[in-house]
Amino acid sequence: MTSGSQRRRLTSPEDLVEAGLAGPERLPELEAVANHYAIGLTPALAALVRPEDPADPIARQFVPDARELIRDPAERDDPIGDDAMSPVNGLVHRYPDRVLIKLVAVCAVYCRFCFRRERVGPGSGTLSADDFAAAVDYVRAHEGIWEVILTGGDPLTLSPRRIAEATQALAAIDHVKVLRWHTRLPVAAPERVTKAVARALMAEGKTTVVAVHANHARELTESARSACRRLAAEGAMLVSQSVLLKGVNDDPETLIDLMRAFVEARVKPYYLHHGDLAPGTTHWRVSIPRGQELMRLLRARLSGLATPTYVLDIPGGHGKAPIGPQWIHCGEDGEHVVTDPQGIRHGYADRLGADSAHIADSTAVETVN
Ligand code: SF4
């Protein structure tokens, strides 16, 4: 059988071999990895794999690799420090104005580079009703919380009824203005992003944002774009999230195609994540200088509309920091040097330099989520 004719979700080493996504000689390797980490590949994404290409960027994201069992000393089970910032089960409060709620620990696909790979997988389940109620109580009690991010796992794998229950419970809190859902479902199983799912995400008077995860332009098929259109038609704002992955998208042409595909699908490029220090993911990471160089090349070729922010989640739970290239070098005398998108440097005299420095000194350094 070839991947193109696959009709069911692939969840085991045998499934991957049977579908032609790995040779039978790789079964022991796949099984060794499967003993630690879940396997999941949907028909929609399996159909995109070109089995004749040993470096296929779609297959690479979902077919296990023996290198996943090699752990660098810097890698950790909880790479972005969720646990340290979790006042109640399933909720992470890292920034004053927003929280994460991890509604479910299952996904339609299991990405080999997942930053929560130690926590997600079949059988890992859904946040219990009591835990969800406690999370809602926490949000209600903290008036500074303006945005709630629903994540997991993939929260769009829940039924429309469960999604609507979560939406309405949070939307009933006056100070919550924005509900942001992080999902891979529009590319992994676009047929499951129905009008009913899109409607379940909406709440009167609140802004719904859907952050769509994709890493290669080929993932944004016509079906995936239709799923995005259904979300937009119901009123969702769409933003992207991608991970910079060695061998998948670590070259300028692939990243440019991906960012343009997002915009064509009505998705504003938002984040390009530097790979987190999840166990067994060294082979996925690209050096930060290379990531910055790629961002420089993107900025030279793409409009701001199509350019994401390159971010690093600081290990230990300290939040995200933009780590893209520096475009300006400030001199103490107000004489600055600005680099244009083509890499040419220009002088800029900032007559307000001293005032600006004063503002910078008195402002806390902020991170983003
Ligand atoms: S969909 Fe997201 S949470 Fe699920 S395995 Fe992929 S990266 Fe991890």
Query: For each of the chain's 369 residues, which pLDDT tens digit applies?
Result: 444 456 899 999 999 999 999 999 999 999 999 999 999 999 999 999 998 999 999 999 999 999 999 999 999 999 999 999 999 999 999 999 999 999 999 999 999 999 999 999 987 789 999 999 999 999 999 999 999 999 999 999 999 999 999 999 999 999 999 999 999 999 999 999 999 999 999 999 999 999 999 999 999 999 999 999 999 999 999 999 999 999 999 999 999 999 999 999 999 999 999 999 999 999 999 999 999 999 999 999 999 999 999 999 999 999 999 999 999 999 888 899 999 988 999 999 988 765 555 544 444 444 455
- As to burial, measured by CB atoms within 10 angstroms (0-12 exposed, 13-18 middle, 19+ buried), residue 211 is buried
CB distance 110 to ligand 1 below 6 Å? yes
CB distance 111 to ligand 1 below 6 Å? yes
Taking alpha carbons only, the member of 303, 299, 360 closest to residue 324 is 299
Q: What is the pLDDT of residue 364?
A: 46
Q: Considering only CA atoms, which residue is closest to atom 8 of ligand 1? A: 114
Contact 41, 58 (CB under 8 A): no
Question: What is the model's pTM?
Answer: 0.93
Q: What is the pLDDT of residue 241?
A: 98
| 3-state SS class at 173 | coil
90, β-bridge pairs: none
Q: Considering only CA atoms, which residue is closest to atom 5 of ligand 1? A: 110
């195609």: which residue's tokens? 257
Residue 16's contacts (CB-CB under 8 Å, 6 or more residues apart) are 10, 22, 30, 39, 41, 63, 64
| Ligand 1 midpoint to CA 350 (Å) | 45
309, β-bridge pairs: 271
């339609």: which residue's tokens? 108
Contact 257, 298 (CB under 8 A): no
Query: Tokens representing 77?
Result: 């089970």
- H/E stretch holding 210 reads strand 207-213
CB distance 154 to ligand 1 below 6 Å? yes
Nearest atom in ligand 1 to the alpha carbon of residue 243 is: 7
Contact 84, 59 (CB under 8 A): no
Contact 270, 211 (CB under 8 A): yes
CA distance 37 to 19: 20
């945005």: which residue's tokens? 147
Contact 272, 310 (CB under 8 A): yes
| Ligand 1 midpoint to CA 106 (Å) | 8
| Ligand 1 midpoint to CA 111 (Å) | 6
Taking alpha carbons only, the member of 36, 62, 35 closest to residue 49 is 62
Nearest atom in ligand 1 to the alpha carbon of residue 110 is: 5
